[in-house]
Amino acid sequence: MTLKSWLDNRWITAHTATLGEIEGLFAVVDRDLKDAAVPRLSDDWRLGIAYNAALQLATIALMAEGYRTGRERHHERALQSLAYTVKASTRTVDLLDLVRRKRNQANYEAAGATSAREAEELYKVVEELRSDVVRWLKKHHVGLCPSDVKA
């Protein structure tokens, strides 16, 4: 599988990203990572907020490569695309996909279904992912990397 084959399958569409778009998404990522570190929030919310940051990071990398996800299975495909854009490990992609499923449960069905350890683990993974995406942008799409964003 490649992103080109995803495009042929219509899982993603072609998109020309602008620096402004990427800056906007990084602002969301940084807001979410800041909020996900607030200890007085519930573990469910901290997990959900860190997850949103991961989703935006996946979207940044996919947009920089010239694509965006379609409506169908948008979250799942955005997260899986990390394996093709920034070459995220299977371990990271599998973890994010598990959190995607878990988040539905924690948000809508079962308050308290997240442990503090899970929220902390995800936070660290997303912080690392942010660094990976920034380094990758600087190397492969320097024109789309906001000048004030640090790895």
* Options 21, 23, 35, 97; binder of other proteins; rule CB under 8 A: 97
* Options 34, 73, 101, 135; binder of other proteins; rule CB under 8 A: 101
- Residue 61's closest CA among 50, 73, 77, 45? 77
Q: Should residue 34 be labelled a site residue for other proteins when binding is judged by CB under 8 A?
A: no
Q: Should residue 112 be labelled a site residue for other proteins when binding is judged by CB under 8 A?
A: yes
Name residues contacting other proteins, limited to 52-91 (CB under 8 A): 90-91
* Options 94, 131, 135, 151; binder of other proteins; rule CB under 8 A: 94
Size of the site for other proteins (CB under 8 A): 23
Residue with Cβ nearer other proteins (17 or 125): 125
Q: Should residue 40 be labelled a site residue for other proteins when binding is judged by CB under 8 A?
A: no
- Kindly report the three-state secondary structure assignment for every residue of 86-151: CCCCHHHHHHHHHHHHHHHHHHHHCCCCCCHHHHHHHHHHHHHHHHHHHHHHHHHCHHHCCCCCCC
Look at strands 12-14 and 67-69 and give their pairing.
antiparallel
